[in-house]
Structure 1
Amino acid sequence: MSRKRYRFKPKAIGLVGDSPGMVRIPEDAHKPHIQVFSYNTKEVVASKGEAFSVIMKHLETCTEHTHWIKVNGLGDAELFQQIADILKINPLVLEDITNTRQRPKFDEYDGYVFATSRVIKFNEEHELTNQQFSAIVKDNLLISFEEDYSTCFEPVIERLKSGKGSIRTGGSGYMCYALMDTIIDEYFVVLADIGETLDTIEDRVYESPDKRIMYETQHIKRELIMMRRVSWPERDKINDMIRSDSPLVTPEVKTFLRDAYDHCIQIMDMTDSYKEITGNVMDLYLSMVSNRMNEIMKVLTIISVIFIPLTFIAGVYGMNFSRQDEKGRPIPDNMPELYAHHGYVYTIGIMLLIGIIQVIIFWRKGWFNRL
């Protein structure tokens, strides 16, 4: 079984006492890679760029299109300054994008809305990663932000290029829903992997329990706690979007958001179920270990009970009290068997007979059948 690692150690980017809206870029942040998808019912125009002003000039040439600007990497403070200047974005939004410890949420502003989600998935090294996804939605524009160059949105890009469904006609609000729905689908993939791992661990508990089971189960429990911390605010965020009066969240988008809301409920139920299973597996393991210890103690007890009378006999005849004093006169009441002929053979025979009788008694009581 491949080992899963848990990698989520958020770093405090801001400083105590910073003014609200302060944008601080972490030192290890990736340099932005920007892709632009301009689309309508007839075509999809894809391009790449570095400066946001150049990208905006490209958008001005595609006036009949809806635009998705996909930013991978947050390591450029100038980029965020350009976004703030050109699109008139509140500094608090930019702070939430660069401070990647945000819980899933949905905020409404004048002329645009802002949403964040947590992307939970396994990377190529089979490490479970927890990264932030942020999106700014305007009339015909969606800007998405991801922490690094890995992405889970290839299916959305394929749908966009093939024109399947409502993705080209639903506007920027629908595109935001499509990205969030893909993130939620990744939750199902993670939970499916956790479920298979739990089944494997449960089988190992019955077959050959060892202490690694306890560590692996505790590891899975941490992952489930993380999933629960993500799925609950994700559900609340989608509920806020359904109840929103913003024209960017159209009634058609709200219909699909209700389906995503149901998916969040399923994820929460699965998370709670798996969390309960981890507790049951841990209890089962401890019970199996306790039963195994009891069986070992039972074997040792039976062996001890068999040898106690034998040890008593050997101890009595090991005292070696002499039957004669220094002058050769008999000493009364001192081991008359000490000089008995064949005494050793008789004693061993009696000890063997006592042991056999005890074994027969234990066998008839069924003690050996339960070992």
Structure 2
Amino acid sequence: MAYTRRVRYKNKKRNINVGARPGTVIIPEDALPPKITIYSFNQDDLQVSNGTDMETITRQIAKCNDHTHWIKINGLGDAKLMEDIGTFLGINQLVLEDIVNTHQRPKFDEYEGYVFGTSRVIYFNKENELVNCQFSGIVKDNIVISFEESHLDYFEVITTRLKAGKGIIRTGGPGYIFYALTDTILDNYFVMLSKIGDMIDQTEDKLYQSPDKSIMFDAQQLKRTLIIIRRACWPERDKINDMIRSESPEITQETKLYLRDAYDHCIQAMDMVESYKEVTSSIIDLYLSMVSNRMNEIMKVLTIISVIFIPLTFIAGIYGMNFSREDTHGHVIRDNMPELYVQHGYVYALIGMFLIGAFQVLIFWRKGWFNKL
């Protein structure tokens, strides 16, 4: 059976600019160059274009002026592109700062003419590293623009639905696209939790079959992973609730019906996280209890051996003192170990010691001590 592998956490440096002007767009050093994909669609048509600069966006929007546009940007390594998008859409500088500052907690903010939201994208990469990235989205008029840190196509299921053209994916508007992206993030939380559940089951099996100290380390890493997911789920619930209660025209009543379903999914994910956290804590406690019980059993064996040999050692110690039976003039000293001159005394001593030990073993056996070893 394959047990839990070590989970490595892909840490990212946090931009800390003490005293910087609010709204300053500072690109992280490890930010990837942007890749832009634009999906322009209506009920009957879907147009897709790719590029790396602002001209790609403006050309596509002008070409498809009667379409809804999903501008998908993977990579945040171009400050000029961010500034151009802010100017083109009339986005507040504070929003642009939150987009490039990728340590935001999930939230939903309303501004005049548009709405802005962030979420946490959490997944295991091919190197078994736990990646915790930021997703940001802006909805304005007939445009939804999403920002992702990596070049990974995390929303492939949404693009597949757009190409198929079934359901309301093309007619629900940009607010519905933003909901679909959020719901995809939540669905992947369940995929993560399913993998973690399998890891917990494997760790429990190992605990019952061949417990060792690696169990405690595995359980602690799983618990840490669950804490990261919990830190994403709790504010995500508040974010979705804010979207449901929003009065912004960008979030339609039809979209709010679907958001209520996403809210329920978020609650389910939180319940699973709390349940798995309790299980991982109980695995650690059970392992420590098993170690303690094993130590008690070892101490019990050592105690039984010590108790058996203490009187035997006492007898051997007494007759090992070798006080002389006669003085230097040949006179008998009555109080000095007369047994030293008894015929067959050595044999009698061994038989007596054996009988004492056997009697103790019999007492312990009748008390049931050997049955519990």
Q: Place the TM-score, normalised by the shorter chain, in its bin.
A: over 0.9
Unaligned runs of 5+ in 2: none
Give how far 1:275 is off.
1.2
> How many percent of aligned residue pairs carry the same amino acid?
63
1:34–1:49: 8 Å Cα contact kept in structure 2? yes
Q: Deviations over 1:308-365 (max 9, x none)?
A: 1111111111111110111222111111111222211111111111111111121111
Q: CA deviation at 1:125?
A: 1.1
CA distance in 2, matches of 1:152, 1:346: 86
Match of 1:324 in 2: 326
Shift, 1:135, TM fit: 0.5
Q: Which residue does the alignment assign to 1:218?
A: 220
User: Is the contact made by 1:209 and 1:289 (CA closer than 8 Å) also made in structure 2?
Assistant: no
Stretches of 4+ moved more than 6 A in 1? none
| Count of residues paired in the alignment | 371
**Which one of the candidate residues 163, 168, 171 is aligned to 2:170?**
168
Partner SS for 1:121 = strand
Matches within 5 A, 1:81-120: 81-120=83-122
Q: Aligned partner of 2:110: which letter?
A: E
Once residues 19 and 10 of structure 2 are traced to their aligned partners in structure 1, the CA distance between those partners, rounded to angstroms, is: 25
Cα distance, 1:8 vs. partner? Answer: 4.9
Whichever residue aligns with residue 233 of structure 1, its letter is: P
Where in structure 2 are the equivalents of 1:28-177 lying within 5 Å?
28-177=30-179
Cα distance in 2 between the residues matched to 1:164 and 1:208:
52
Q: Does the 8 Å CA contact 2:82/2:96 hold for their aligned counterparts? A: yes
**1:61 Cα offset (Å):** 0.7
CA shift at 1:164, angstroms? 2.5
8 Å CA contact retained: 1:70, 1:145: yes
Partner residue, 1:359: 361
For residues 11 and 42 of structure 1, the distance between their equivalents in structure 2, rounded to whole angstroms, comes to 45
Q: What secondary structure does 1:82 align onto?
A: helix
For 1:275-314, list aligned pairs within 5 A: 275-314=277-316
Tell whether the 8 Å contact from 2:4 to 2:202 is kept in structure 1 after alignment: no
Residue 27 of structure 1 aligns to a residue whose secondary structure is coil
CA deviations 1:102-123 (Å, max 9, x no partner) are 0001111121111100001111
Question: Contact 2:10–2:129 at 8 Å: present in 1 too?
Answer: no
Contact 1:97 1:145 in 2 (8 A): yes
- Distance, in Å, in 1 between the alignment partners of 2:145 and 2:104 is 17
Deviations 1:205-241 (A, max 9, x none): 2222221111121112211111111111000000000
Distance in 2 (alpha carbons) for counterparts of 1:152 and 1:4: 24
Structure 2 distance, partners of 1:12, 1:133, is 16
Distance 2:152 2:345 in 1: 87
CA distance in 1, matches of 2:134, 2:6: 20
Cross-structure match for 2:207? 205
C-alpha deviation, 1:271, in angstroms: 1.0
CA deviation map 1:239-277 (0-9, x unaligned): 000000111101111000000000111111111111111
Unmatched runs of 5 consecutive residues or more in structure 1: none
Alpha-carbon distance between aligned partners in 1 of 2:151 and 2:108, rounded to the nearest angstrom = 24
Given that residues 38 and 68 in structure 1 are in contact (C-alpha distance below 8 angstroms), is that contact kept between their aligned partners in structure 2? yes
AA aligned to 2:21 is S
TM-score, normalised to structure 1's length? 0.97
| Aligned-partner Cα distance in 2 for 1:254–1:288 | 51
2:69 match: secondary structure: strand
Letter paired with 1:68: W
Structure 2 distance, partners of 1:291, 1:36, is 63
User: Structure 2 CA distance, aligned partners of 1:356 and 1:151?
Assistant: 76
Question: 1:6 deviation in Å?
Answer: 4.1
Task: Indicate the SS of the match to 2:130.
Answer: strand
Per the normalisation by structure 2, the TM-score is: 0.97
Counterpart CA distance in 2 for 1:76 and 1:240 is 31
The answer on whether the counterparts of 1:4 and 1:128 sit within 8 Å (CA) in structure 2 is no
What is the distance in 2 between the residues matched to 1:76 and 1:333? 103
**Alpha-carbon shift at residue 4 of structure 1 (Å):** 4.0
